[in-house]
Amino acid sequence: EKTYKYPFGVYSEGRLIDISSYGFVDGQDYTEKEITDIMLQHRHYEFAGTMEYSYIEDDNVLVVTGKQHRKG
């Protein structure tokens, strides 16, 4: 599973979320599941579904979107 080293930003639903008080530790690697779990603990319910993570290296930001289920 892919990991990301904190500090990083988290962008979801059109905004950059302030995660500075969420308990992330500088220099520690986090899996996508760990990040999702921490976000849910802090009442970011948009993380309740299946999430897709994209990393924008130039800005050191994780762009997180809900996975779309397509019919057909």
Average pLDDT over residues 1-20: 96
Residues 17-69 have pLDDT tens digits of 999 999 999 999 999 999 999 999 999 999 998 999 999 999 999 999 988 76
With residues binned 3-state (H G I as helix, E B as strand, rest as coil), the percentages for the chain, rounded to 5, are 20, 35, 45
Q: Tokens 């997180």 label which residue?
A: 64
Instruction: Provide the residue ranges of all domains of the chain, joining segments of one domain with +.
Output: 1-71
The partner residues of 16 in beta bridges, in order of sequence, read: 11
What's the whole-model pTM score? Answer: 0.90
The verdict on whether omega for the bond into residue 7 sits within 30 degrees of 0, i.e. cis, is yes
Q: What is the pLDDT of residue 63?
A: 97
Do the beta carbons of residue 22 and residue 10 sit within 8 Å? no
Residues 14-28 have pLDDT tens digits of 999 999 999 999 999
Token pair for 41: 């603990």
